[in-house]
Chains A and B, each alone.
Chain A
């Protein structure tokens, strides 16, 4: 299977572990990832917060580049990139006035973005793994036999009509994948609560406060790890664990894994290929797994 790949800025930098595990798992599942040529940043939260036209034009430029390269499907593992690309595609289809402005900004022929948005579909990493779920189940050599809390956050599930999420309030797509990898997802209450996203730098204590509620509930449900599919969720729960511990008034060693790392471990890939040593909260998998009922 061949598919377009939009790594986005964070998978080459602060979420290199996510990028490494996506590439390693794709290879193991015989998925060929083809980079979108000359891709640019999607604008993320900042364009969204400050400049609506740019927040559509920047991802639209990525869609145009993918279409020129003949890619009909692009996987964007970063949840923020995925959401911006999918939102831009949606906006281009629903709002002709905005589409015309974006065409001017990108300096492309009038009307060209409408056909392009039809052509290029955007997938997130859960969509990609779901397609390979039979192959995952067949190739599991070391079942990830742990109780985990699947944390979806915001951008993979909302707005539902833009991202096509399975269930907006109580998604289960990642839980099903964890089961395929041999794990046991716990039922918990913070699956789709916000981690504070881009407030990580301008308001770190607030991100600590929001993350504290998430870690608190996952720990109370006896999860041995939190599983995510978003670089911002990961850095706010892993890299910002100090702020979370400060907010809770106690330390927690609950590790946060990307879904691709969980699947990779189950497929028998070495932890170093999955970027596990780059986490701030150590992923200590040497101790025996708790019995899974």
Chain B
């Protein structure tokens, strides 16, 4: 979330889409309700089904799964056409005025410029146009002529970390250095230049007319216009006070266009000037705890903690790596850019000091060579595909029921059969550790499985202390409620004991490259079970030598060994160690900030500055500089977060300024300090996204229609699919003519609560939600069994016949959507009683992958439906 859960209460308008917070985030949903009750805020819910969230909405629209970009693009078009935009915000806080390089082409035919004809883009033209180097600070209004874009200057010095590309991008490179963003960007504050980002945006989404939205999404034109009018009404008549928020979750991410859906929302919010403001923002509702923390701590294959990039093989030494991954400012010459990622070397060196302690020295590049270099993608689905190919021989599955969470579970089960070993750390016997017991496995087949399965008894969340990081980026300490039962152990003990054994082996036997293992810093009091307080302190970081900083804190000295007050103190000279720069400040000399439980909220905005701790630097709303106009005055005085104090010459306020505290508004420093441009990206240059600098609607990989925008290029051209015999895609021609989406219920938690009698009582059995009209056509009533077939598998469950899903007219054809909650499998209370028992619902879903975030397309694939 750019904002936070509580901040939603400050909103005037909510668009909840790709999320079902009433069911999946019921506790957080109190804040949307609060906004309705206290501010008369309006709530628009867009979903393939009428959900429990929709039940409380002011307006509900049923959308075809996987067409969110078309809907949001329609909103962008509506906002531009009806002048419901925040002009000042747009000009000064976004890159709307930036001029894009000549040669960039919009995807009228489904492809941006630079497509290689296969599966990737040459991103040279996805860039800004450079302006002359030494441009004066004359008012740019006077020279918005195309000439402003004249001097494409070779500011090759301004390397952007956007040049980094995806993992492996640099690896393939070698010969030609990747393109970089210009240091001085040509721009046009009138937004009239035909290659200005704004004009390109306008052109790009002018195709997303209400009629086109209706054809693609199935939302009737009038309903769409009603929603568009309502949502953009916050900028009606030039109003700048109101704020609208967009709330989403995995309903957006789980598509082959997932990242670009969120991009579209971000663009819309920038267009309306809603980012960085109380009651605004683009707010991802993270799933279960502790998913936000896992992401922050590098629980993804291509990042280290704090979203630091993982080196590629071409990054032969630290300097090369840092040069590639540390961005330099790229902006109009007159503007300022904080470019906070310029501190990357400090974060990186401190991280390596935390990892390797004294073994990391300047002489050995801070042990840079110990770090793994990533030569290709190792995403989740990739891993299973490799196992299926017999290349991955073993798997540690901790707190992850891999078979059930799929996609394409059948393939995952087959993959595990080919593995040599499998280690599962869980609370209950579950589908992954019993993959050999999946329904349909014959005794003969079982006898041929040679995978050795090790089951480790893990501890449940109530049996562990530590922090959870919520969607609002708050670290909150939690305490142990009960000791783990029986032989169960907390995760860190299990992992530590495995690590110590492995290290022992390396010490004894050497091996190819033992250094990264034997030299790792392991300073814990009980090496076999490090405590979370020790780890949390290590993550915060400490001084390794006495530190002073006259600019930051005159007269203050941080003594060697002391906890760091925040990431501003991090150094790249080896005098600081920090496990995750983003969390620096969470455990200071004053103790754990995550344990704070102060309930004071002086501003009444729900900031609660003394409750827990929010990264970065306890800021509750990110980019909050954008809550003020160019001169530093809040857009809405009643929701003042921060403001410029002319007398003190600094930014002050109710929240911690997410900004350079002494940057005078006159210097025009952009509020989006994590971007090299300093402004919000409507156009995302270079390698920011694999599939285009602007979002474009592409059909799901399994779609009932050809993309009405460009039938010849229906799908995302660079969405990833696998080529194994288990990875089949179905089509309408093959009889897969019903759109299927998967989701979770409020009554269950993933595949876990089927072991809890209370939850089982609430919803005892799996079911399939079917529109009443479709049920009539099939001649079935509620409770009868249905057989759902996709190109990958079969799923049988009882039908829930409902009017909450309606038939839709998609591009003139009547179509049905059905929905399957995913919570069941072949182990659980009812399953063990043989009262229900199924292969996981995910054996229907395809392993088709979003090229940016590598999320599978669980939502919106094609199935066949029959009476079972």
A and B bound? no
Q: Which residues in A have some Cβ–Cβ distance to B below 8 Å?
A: none
Q: Which residues in B have some Cβ–Cβ distance to A below 8 Å?
A: none
